[in-house]
Chain A
């Protein structure tokens, strides 16, 4: 076979494979959206679920998912950035660093149900946080942290050595160099990592069953005092997220329209991930532009 034919065949095979993946993705997305979109209405998005009657909504669950995302990011981002910066810029290469890296890798491949059980034992019981958003956020941190650390490390490693040297040669301290020269260049990569981590928060169910719980108190959306037990902003209340809600109504839903609610909720979940991705990317580009003055 001539090199030219081989090249043509390889190209054809690769294009076919890529096309197949796109088809599968579109099929999945289309299936979920077609089944669910019809059920989405303002009422569906804002009202509370019904246990046995028809016509319940997903309002509190939607809010819980978003709030949990914010809480998790508040914990994950500073920790992950800090550890990533340490691993990339301060840790001396050697056995200890390699060991830390190994642990980080192992942590990221933990089955989420195991993390959930760990959360139940440690955060919920030992620390006494109970079934709460806070316990859920900590459990999600367990497997989002490795991702965040690795991405920060990779982002900093992608900064050209010449940039770092130029800054140090001007007499700038190491920290100032990291903060003002390296992090802005690494921002797009770090942001991508944050989006990936955030996507997992939206989609995760298993780890939250035992930590954030499977029920929400009757939320009073007019009470914004984070300390009051009925307030949506109270991080120490139980909170069922959208993904957990989908799992619950599919397995033990009593409402006659449970399949429709599950389909609608799935569509909402996917749309939220999509919107969040686009938004994060847009903001990332803005930040990058502002820091680097590129047009």
Chain B
């Protein structure tokens, strides 16, 4: 594979006794979209949340194995999670803008990371909102509450918020599934644009969406990766019967 943005080696996630993710070793290409598909409860979201150590917040969760970005194993207890999370953005299923103004939602992260200059912050806000295709809709109301935006706008704001701290990787957990079809289409377009600059790993339940936006697809089942290949291959000519069964809708 060409440039690898992130790779996992023998990654296991346990919730107490239950093992949710089993021995997963995957390489994620940089500046590509990788889709993680599979039925509910197959461990794909758990896997995604491990990549920026978000599972640390859940008591009883234990993660073993390696997660490499370059030559740094981020699953090492010594890794500074705070710094790590700046490099890996995250977008959730339900839009979760801060209860702050639109401007503050974007400026909050960069300011914390040391950018105090008002002009620079203004520029970051404009750039991030432009990249998230939200600038035209919000430029006249930056001081309004982010909660005054529609669901689809809120989700694009959350994407803008995550790119404002200039990550190299963005994790997306079903980013369009809580949105109406039009907003959902906009978010998909946005993902296609963003992959020019960012490596994106996206969990989705929507087969068409996976086929449309991703270059690589990993099919998860019962905590294991059944098949990982080019999206075109997975959707037209999968090597595994189970993948074929799932994609053609025979279960899941």
Contact = CB atoms under 8 A, between A and B. Distances in A.
Interface of A: 92-93, 160, 162-173, 176, 180-181, 184-185, 291-295
Given A166-B96, A184-B99, A293-B100, A172 B112 contact: yes
B198 to A, nearest CB: 14
A91 to B, nearest CB: 11
A150 to B, nearest CB: 21
Nearest to B164: A170
Nearest to B148: A295
B98 A171 contact: no
B54 interface: yes
Given A171-B86, A184-B99, A166 B92 contact: yes
B46 to A, nearest CB: 14
A172 B109 contact: yes
Given A169-B54, A176-B112, 18 more contacts: A92-B59, A163-B98, A165-B57, A165-B92, A166-B90, A166-B92, A166-B158, A166-B161, A170-B85, A170-B112, A170-B161, A171-B165, A172-B82, A185-B99, A292-B99, A293-B101, A293-B145, A294-B147
12 contacts: A93-B59, A166-B161, A169-B52, A169-B88, A169-B162, A170-B108, A171-B83, A171-B86, A171-B165, A291-B99, A293-B145, A295-B144
B94 interface: yes
Interface residues of B, number: 36
B89 interface: yes
Closest 4 pairs between A and B when the two form their complex, measured CB to CB: A171-B86, A293-B101, A162-B96, A292-B99
Point out which of A93, A181, A293 has the most chain B C-beta atoms below 10 A from its C-beta.
A293
Given A162-B96, A163-B98, A293 B104 contact: yes
A274 to B, nearest CB: 30
A291 B59 CA distance: 30
B123 interface: no
A162 B99 contact: no
A236 B99 CA distance: 43
A167 B143 CA distance: 20
Contacts of A164: 57
A168 B101 contact: no
A224 B92 CA distance: 57
Nearest to A172: B112
Contacts of A165: 54, 57, 90, 92, 96
B57 A168 contact: yes
A276 B137 CA distance: 43
Interface centre among A160, A180, A185 (most CB of B within 10 A): A180
A167 B94 CA distance: 15
Contacts of A162: 92, 94, 96
A294 B112 CA distance: 22
A184 B104 CA distance: 14
A167 B96 CA distance: 10
B98 A166 contact: yes
Given A165-B92, A293-B143, A294-B145, A171 B99 contact: no
A162 B104 CA distance: 17
Nearest to A93: B59
Contact of B96 (A163, A172, A293): A163
B241 interface: no
Given A93-B59, A162-B94, A170 B109 contact: yes
A293 B145 CA distance: 5
